[in-house]
């Protein structure tokens, strides 16, 4: 027993130096003593002490174990608001009455019913005079938008800018001179996978809620290669109502705007997405200067797959393979051509058109960016000066009047600028539908924004003036060919 007592004293001494735990050795040591009879008395060995861990490596006392983000939340939370959007929508009382054939045959108008539709989301105050950033889908179609501050004061909001390309919107409330708390923009390009982040918003309308997680991934993109939606992925809990809220870093800077979740049930499963702060900053700058005008690179491309990497003399799949270059555009002026592979923009790697568009969109027209380009396996650095996409031909925006299948459609001549706005091919030509009045003929016949009118009664359509002339001279018979997402569709109407 004397040897056991001595062994225990040594063990406790070792535990005090941070090497082992007493409990584990008590179990093992007790078992060894019970079942092993030592042949000779063991000699006491001197205790080998290791250097103590520094305060940066481990907490020195209980107070340092208690990590809290309360100071950050206390500073940031007052700048995160609730956004309520109300709209009145028209719905047919009976779907049969909405059929244009039924209306013409029986000479009846569809019976419309009014229904109030409400949308709940969040927003972030980014300027002390009441400028608020939120998601476009939160306020889209809203006729009455209310903002509720964290102190429960309510304000009527005005939409300064709504940009479906980025799914961002900027609102303004009248503070009567009061300066509101804000969340400062951070540098979202500095984020790394594994960084801690906080999500602040109003999920399900239960009240302001803060959740914590990490940056799970960067450079998550949507399926549309022509838009600017390029996301930060996080496992911080994001639920319906969080849209438009703040994703902040642990130093209280805005990392992104919470936008969407991936979920089979509609609730949080740890896969949420936020629009990076660097893109959101550009939208806010555009809102206060008359509109967002993103520069373009003047080229279209596709990801480099494993099958393409070998023929392109690349060591691995990487970069964006240019499949078309607009004549006279920034890419063409920088010497880029079809078949070149863009590997990075200002040192940031790009692997698809979404990431390339995003890197360009966070810059301003006139900025010079550095591209790393591979041509037939030879890598070079190239400078490219960004510019606005040209509006040639001019838009000639017109709303179709009279009585024809396109009545109520707002149409424009296609140009690279219009194609960029509508997230279409830069080389698209013709007349495009920009928007459709939901209560007029164009909507009832199923026309949608982005449709390109190719011909009327067999005559090709090249511009707005020509389309209007063909519609007016149809003598009650319209045979239209429309292109939608690369597919051509025909519609014949008599009346």
Q: Which residues are catalytic?
A: 137, 167, 243
- In whole angstroms, what is the distance from residue 9 CA to residue 4 CA? 9
Tokens 């939608």, located at residue:
484
- Stated as kind and residue range, the H or E segment containing 331 is helix 330-333
Asked if residue 329 lies in contact with residue 295, where contact means CB atoms within 8 angstroms, the answer is no
Residues linked to residue 456 through DSSP beta bridges, in sequence order: 459, 480
Q: At how many degrees (to 10) do helices 2-16 and 22-35 cross? A: 160
Q: Give long-range contacts, CB 8 A cutoff, 24+ apart: 305-314.
A: 312/341, 312/374, 312/376, 312/377, 313/374, 313/376, 313/377, 314/341, 314/374, 314/377
Q: How many CB atoms are closer than 10 A to CB 128?
A: 13
Tokens 């179709």, located at residue:
400
Share of the chain residues as helix, strand and coil, in percent rounded to the nearest 5: 25, 35, 45
* Residue spans of alpha helices (H) in 334-372: 353-361
Asked if residue 85 lies in contact with residue 145, where contact means CB atoms within 8 angstroms, the answer is yes
- In whole angstroms, what is the distance from residue 204 CA to residue 282 CA? 29
Asked if residue 250 lies in contact with residue 69, where contact means CB atoms within 8 angstroms, the answer is yes
Strand stretches in 447-486, DSSP E: 452-456, 459-460, 477-484
Those residues with Cβ within 8 angstroms of residue 439's Cβ, 6 or more apart along the chain or in another chain: 90, 408
Those residues with Cβ within 8 angstroms of residue 171's Cβ, 6 or more apart along the chain or in another chain: 83, 123, 131, 132, 133, 134, 139, 145, 147, 157, 158, 159, 160
């Amino acid at each position: 027993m004397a040897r056991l007592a001595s062994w225990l004293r040594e063990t406790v001494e070792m535990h005090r130096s941070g090497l082992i735990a007493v409990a584990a050795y008590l179990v093992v040591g007790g078992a060894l003593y019970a079942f092993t009879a030592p042949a000779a008395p063991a000699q006491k060995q001197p205790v080998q002490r290791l250097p103590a861990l520094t305060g940066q490596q481990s907490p020195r006392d209980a107070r340092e174990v208690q990590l809290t983000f309360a100071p950050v939340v206390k500073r940031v939370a007052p700048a995160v608001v609730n956004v309520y959007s109300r709209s009145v929508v028209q719905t047919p009382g009976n779907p049969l009455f909405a059929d244009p054939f039924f209306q013409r045959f029986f000479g009846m108008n569809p019976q419309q019913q009014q229904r109030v539709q409400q949308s709940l989301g969040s927003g972030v105050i980014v300027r002390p005079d009441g400028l608020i950033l939120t998601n476009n889908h939160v306020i889209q179609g809203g006729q009455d938008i209310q903002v509720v501050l964290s102190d429960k004061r309510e304000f009527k909001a005005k939409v300064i800018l709504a940009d479906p390309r980025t799914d961002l919107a900027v609102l303004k409330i009248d503070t009567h001179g009061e300066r509101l708390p804000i969340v400062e923009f951070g540098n979202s390009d500095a984020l790394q996978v594994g960084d801690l982040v906080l999500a602040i918003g109003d999920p399900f309308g239960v009240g302001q809620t803060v959740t914590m997680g990490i940056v799970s991934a960067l450079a998550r993109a949507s399926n549309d290669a022509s838009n600017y939606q390029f996301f930060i992925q996080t496992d911080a809990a994001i639920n319906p109502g969080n849209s438009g809220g703040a994703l902040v870093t642990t130093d209280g800077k805005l990392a992104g705007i919470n936008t969407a979740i991936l979920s089979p049930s509609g609730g949080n499963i740890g896969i949420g997405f936020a629009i990076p702060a660097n893109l959101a900053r550009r939208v806010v700058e555009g809102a206060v200067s008359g509109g967002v005008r993103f520069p373009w690179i003047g080229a279209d491309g596709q990801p480099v797959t494993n099958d393409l990497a070998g023929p392109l003399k690349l060591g691995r799949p990487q970069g964006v393979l240019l499949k078309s270059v607009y004549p006279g555009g920034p890419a063409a002026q920088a010497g880029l051509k079809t078949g070149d592979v863009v590997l990075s923009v200002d040192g940031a790697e790009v692997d698809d058109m979404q990431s390339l568009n995003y890197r360009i969109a966070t810059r301003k027209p006139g900025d010079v960016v550095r591209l790393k380009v591979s041509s037939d396996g030879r890598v070079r650095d190239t400078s490219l000066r960004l510019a606005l996409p040209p509006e040639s031909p001019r838009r000639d925006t017109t709303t179709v009047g009279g009585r024809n299948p396109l009545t109520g459609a707002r149409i424009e001549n296609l140009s690279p600028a219009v194609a960029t706005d509508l997230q279409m091919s830069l080389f698209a030509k013709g007349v495009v539908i920009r928007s459709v009045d939901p209560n007029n003929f164009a909507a009832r016949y199923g026309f949608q924004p982005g449709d390109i009118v190719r011909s009327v009664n067999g005559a090709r359509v090249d511009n707005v003036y020509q389309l209007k002339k063909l519609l007016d001279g149809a003598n009650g018979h319209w045979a239209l060919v429309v292109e939608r997402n690369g597919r051509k569709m025909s519609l014949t109407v008599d009346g």
